[in-house]
Amino acid sequence: MSEPYAQMLTPAFRARLERLQLAVRRSLPSTMRGDRRSLLRKGASLEFADFRPYIEGDDVRFLDWAAYARLDHLIMKLYHDEEDLQVHLLVDDSASMLPDKALFARQVAAGLGWIALRGGARVSAALLGEQIDRQPALRGVAAGERLLQFLSRPSGGGKQPLHLGCEKYANLARPWGLVLVVTDLLDPAGAAGVLNALQRRTTELSVLQVLSPQDLDPDFEGDLRLKDAEEAPSVDISLSPARIEAYRRTVRGYVAQCAELCLRRGAAFIQASSARSLEDFFVLDLARARIVR
């Protein structure tokens, strides 16, 4: 795939993205201070956030003496902390993503990266194909164009399993912070492989599954030999309405299975069709999944 990078995100869409922010569901350990305010975390900024009861070991400098005098209870004042957010965008670049899913996936990654860069985060990206094509961390609004250029690189169409690509990336980049994986999850290891490779104490993982209309609701018929894009075994099949319905059930079941696994493992999961409108996906679907706000 080689999309002119300027067309990955239209100017109008970029303007819409500027109103969105990445949502972090839990606080992540960080060694560097950044522009991002961490919610409900003891911080050293002047901006008051909230109260909570004193727990042994808390910094007594933050006790609210006035509340103690009134209520005779030890209460801690909380202030917004400013921390450095790392965002890792991993895009499945295997042959199974070609062609429609690959474009949509890169557009999603580009949009998320754009939002993250405008929010002051450090954004790294990688295309997980036969090899791992990395984009080192970028920061600042101006880095957005470079991110788009990276995501516009031609697709390798690799046949390496996704979970192996995730493991390699995890070993190389030792990610921490937000990790967003955009993939079709049509891999034998499935969501478990991605979770096992990338989920850490230091990461908040979100899995965005992209499936094409053909994956979700195939419209072919007759006596066919289904040929896998990644050289998995072909399937000889004589399609009938019953068999197509069985396939649809299987797809739904698989998606549900991935969602349930991610939920149990504390990862966010969202599934979308590559035919979905990008704007609707960001404004509605990602917001509903609390990946953006």
Partner 1 sequence: MIALAFDNPAALGLLGAAAAALLLFMLKRRRRDQPVSSTMLWRRAMKETVARAPFRRPSEWVSLILLLAALIALAFGAAGMRQGELRGDGRTVVVVVDVSASMTTREDGGTRFDIARDRARELIAGLGEGDHAVLIAAGATPRLVGYASGDSGPLLRMLGELQAEPQGCALRPALEMALAEVRRARGGVAPELVVLSDFCHAAAQWEGLDMKGAQLTLARCDGKAENAGIVHAAFAGDEGEGRLLVRVAGIGSRNVSLYNGDRLIDAREVRLATGQEETVVFRAPVPQGAGEVLRLGVRLDPADAQTLDDAAYVAVSRAEPARLLHVGAENSYLSRLAQAIPDLVFDRVDAADLTAQREKAAAPYDLAVITEPVAGVVPARRELYMGCAPDGLDLSIEGELVQPVIIDWERTHSMLRGASLDSLVLLKAVRVKAGPAARAIARLKDGPLLLEQRAPGRQVYVWASRPEDSNLLLRPAFPILVANLLGDAISRVRGHLAQCEAGVGFELPVGAGGATSIDAVLPRGRKWRAEVLPGEQALLRGPLPPGFCRAELRGAEFQQDIEVGIALLDVIETAARPQPPNAGQFGAGSAQVVEAANWNIQRPLWELLSIVALLLLAAELGVWMLTQRRLKPV
- Taking CB atoms within 8 Å and a gap of at least 24, the contacts of 42-47 are 42/76, 42/78, 42/79, 42/81, 43/78, 43/79, 43/80, 43/81, 43/82, 43/83, 44/79, 44/81, 45/79, 45/80, 45/81, 45/82, 46/79, 47/79, 47/80
Q: What is the CA angle 87-93-99, rounded to 5?
A: 125
Which single residue is written with the structure tokens 């901006």? 47
# residues near partner 1 by CB under 8 A: 43
Q: Which of 186, 207, 258, 291 is close enough to bind partner 1 by CB under 8 A?
A: 186
224 interacts with partner 1 by CB under 8 A: yes
- Between the alpha carbon of residue 33 and those of residues 45, 110, 144, 220, the distances in Å are 11, 25, 21, 54
Which candidate, 232, 100, 91, 213, places its Cα nearest to that of 162?
91
Residue type, 81: D
Kindly tell me which of 86 and 96 has the beta carbon lying closer to partner 1.
96
**136, 140, 188, 213: which one binds partner 1 (CB under 8 A):** 188
| Of 154 and 253, CB closest to partner 1 | 253
- Least spacing, CB of residue 159 vs partner 1, in Å: 11
Q: Give burial (CB, 10 Å; 0-12/13-18/19+) of 283.
A: middle
Residue 109, phi-psi category: left (phi > 0), alpha (psi -120 to 50), beta (remainder): alpha
Question: Minimum distance from CB of 286 to partner 1 (Å)?
Answer: 23
CB of 216 to partner 1, least distance (A): 10
Binding residue for partner 1, selected from 19, 26, 33, 243, defined by CB under 8 A:
243
Can you tell me the distance from the alpha carbon of 105 to that of 141, in angstroms, rounded to the nearest whole number?
21
CB of 184 to partner 1, least distance (A): 7
CA distance 66 to 277: 53
- Residues 166-185 touching partner 1, rule: CB under 8 A, are 184
Selected binder of partner 1 within 41, 254, 265, 273 (CB under 8 A): 254
Q: How far is the CB of 133 from partner 1 (least distance, A)?
A: 20
By CB under 8 A, residue 187 contacts partner 1 = yes
Residue 34 lies near partner 1 (rule: CB under 8 A): no
Contact range with partner 1 by CB under 8 A, out of 152-160, 175-183, 209-217, 277-285? 209-217
Residue 11 interacting with partner 1 (CB under 8 A): no
Residues found near partner 1 in the complex (CB under 8 A): 95-98, 101, 184, 186-188, 212, 214-215, 218, 220, 222-230, 232-238, 240-243, 245-252, 254
